Amino acid sequence: MQIMLRADPTLFGTVHEPLWSLLYRYWFWGWLFRDVNEGDLMRRASSWRHNVAMRACLPTYMWRWLMCTAATAIVAQGVEASTSAAVVPAIFYTWSVLGVLVLGIASIIWMFLARSPD
């Protein structure tokens, strides 16, 4: 049994939007893009053009993740300097590494959408 949380897209940007949906849309960009493998040739071309247009939003998400990554790295260094315990700084360093990975993925998507479809 698979349970998936799905928000009604008509609630996006309203006061009735669930908090988890708002947080997801703030940190992750997947909701912006359409699947280019669905439908006929016209629908796929339309989805590609939509995705290329939405490419302009990716730098905003990359900036958020860059700030989050820098903040967790700075906190990790501060905690590491102030305590002898290794677990707490490791938690913050782990979040920093995850932030770098998300930044890398966003950068690859951003560069991929800059090229023309073949």
Domain ranges in the chain? 57-118
Rounded to whole angstroms, the Cα distance separating 83 from 56 reads 42
Burial 57-89 (b: 16+ CB within 10 A, else e): ebeebbebbbebbeebbebbeebbeeeeeeeeb
For residue range 62-116, what is the model confidence (pLDDT) as tens digits? 999 999 999 999 999 999 999 888 899 999 999 999 999 999 999 999 999 998 6
pLDDT single digits (tens) 35-54: 999 999 999 999 999 999 99
pLDDT tens digits, 4-31: 667 777 777 778 888 888 888 899 999 8
- Distance CA(27)–CA(47), nearest Å, equals 22
